[in-house]
Amino acid sequence: MRLKHLFVEFLKSRGIECISTNSRKVLGEDPIAYIARNFVSGKFRIFEGQGRFSFDLDGNRIDACRYVAWKSREGIGREEIEDRLGDFPYLVVDCSLAGLHSEKELRSLKKQVNWTLRVVREFMWDERYVVAGMDTGTSAQHFPSVEDFLDQVRPGKVILLDPGAEEEFRGENADCYIIGGIVDKTGNKRGTTALIYERLVKNGYSVERRKILLRGDVIGVPDRINHIAEIVLRAVMDGTSVEEAILSVQSRKIARWRLRKEIVKNSEKIKRNSRSFRVIRKSFFEDVKTWLNVELEDFYRCASDMGIIVVDVDFNPAKIFNVCG
Ligand SMILES: C[S@@+](CC[C@H](N)C(=O)[O-])C[C@H]1O[C@@H](n2cnc3c(N)ncnc32)[C@H](O)[C@@H]1O
């Protein structure tokens, strides 16, 4: 359950059916998520009054509401749902390998780490987001290292997301998910997430490693830190399948990488007049489009990039060509 759903449940249990607040910032994001995270961060309390911007509990703007969430010493506060907040996991980005990055990669790393805060805010609140080994100037929690965080907070089950892991991530619950603060623009950091795992184990921490796969392969899984965060949080907190979570963040570009691989794997080799060709049936597109964010034009483009001919559904190579093994 996302924080905003818990918050709505809580308001309803108090007979509160709408909420208002005064900051214009509420208009820039999901209003209920905004009010909920400020409430659990202890910045807002809820009391009778009229704020400037009012919403029903589905987040629709309404004319007025007699409850306001705003700065006050009075009213309902975070402590009243404190006992439910422990169920939310921590999401940690380990930036200890920042030294391996070029200037360009470092800039991208900072952006991705900051975008991850936006993702976390859709599901939880800033306190649950931890950045280790890098100062971001945001309201995420900062620790010198993941080890410092683990020593201080002592979460139970810890999962490190690692594309090189043996075991697959299937949306398992954990108290803490660690993502490597690694940006791989040059392609020379393959396997570096394992360095984080080895270091944590060497330092005496118990960590499980999991890889995120799309139908058995990491190709097609977006690997930006903010995307990995969103996949994990959707699967864990919304209860969607990992595949659905991947599709919700997968760009067409990343989908095309996987599409190329699938086209090659599913193409047939045929021979005519001692020349061989590879063909792929157009109907194959109907299959892949259910689990890759691709359009028919991507299918033609990828096939053509690899010199593979797209043929009609009723194409029968045996009638026209000699089919090779
Ligand atoms: C850009 S990736 C870097 C991966 C790195 N090149 C490697 O091979 O270990 C950044 C981080 O996202 C997470 N990540 C990316 N793809 C993943 C996948 N398919 N499964 C699990 N974690 C993944 C990992 O935590 C990783 O450290």
Per-10-residue mean pLDDT, the chain, length 325:
97 97 96 97 96 97 97 94 95 94 92 96 97 92 97 98 98 98 86 96 97 97 97 98 98 97 93 86 93 96 93 68 44
User: Contact 155/69 with Cβ under 8 angstroms?
Assistant: no
Q: Answer yes or no: is the C-beta of 159 below 6 A from any ligand 1 atom.
A: no
Atom of ligand 1 nearest to the CA of 192: 9
pLDDT at 323: 45
Q: Answer yes or no: is the C-beta of 193 below 6 A from any ligand 1 atom.
A: yes
- Name the region of 191 (left: φ>0; alpha: ψ -120 to 50; beta: rest): left
Question: Which residue is closest in CA terms to ligand 1's atom 18?
Answer: 163
Q: Answer yes or no: is the C-beta of 220 below 6 A from any ligand 1 atom.
A: no
Atom of ligand 1 nearest to the CA of 225: 12
Atom of ligand 1 nearest to the CA of 184: 1
pLDDT at 314: 66
Q: Answer yes or no: is the C-beta of 229 below 6 A from any ligand 1 atom.
A: no
- Name the region of 42 (left: φ>0; alpha: ψ -120 to 50; beta: rest): left
Residue indicated by tokens 């280790």: 132
Q: Answer yes or no: is the C-beta of 89 below 6 A from any ligand 1 atom.
A: no
Angstrom distance (rounded) from CA 39 to CA 33 = 10
Query: Encoding tokens for residue 56?
Result: 């029903």
Gap from CA of 47 to ligand 1 centroid (Å): 45
Q: Answer yes or no: is the C-beta of 308 below 6 A from any ligand 1 atom.
A: no
Q: Answer yes or no: is the C-beta of 172 below 6 A from any ligand 1 atom.
A: no
Which of 310, 209, 301 lies closest to 267, judged by CA?
Answer: 310
Q: Answer yes or no: is the C-beta of 232 below 6 A from any ligand 1 atom.
A: no
Considering just the CA atoms, what is the radius of gyration of the chain in Å? 24
Q: Answer yes or no: is the C-beta of 212 below 6 A from any ligand 1 atom.
A: yes
Angstrom distance (rounded) from CA 195 to CA 217 = 22
Strands 90-94 and 129-132 turn out to be parallel
Q: How far is CA 259 from CA 100, 134, 264, in A?
A: 31, 36, 9
Which of 47, 122, 36, 31 lies closest to 78, judged by CA?
Answer: 36
What domains, with CATH codes, occur in the chain? 3-84 (no CATH), 88-250 (3.40.1280.30), 254-323 (no CATH)
pLDDT at 315: 67
Atom of ligand 1 nearest to the CA of 210: 21
pLDDT at 275: 85
Gap from CA of 160 to ligand 1 centroid (Å): 10
Q: How wide is the angle at C-alpha 148 spanned by C-alphas 139 and 185, nearest 5°?
A: 65
pLDDT at 320: 55
Strands 275-281 and 18-21 turn out to be unpaired
Gap from CA of 140 to ligand 1 centroid (Å): 21
Q: Answer yes or no: is the C-beta of 221 below 6 A from any ligand 1 atom.
A: yes
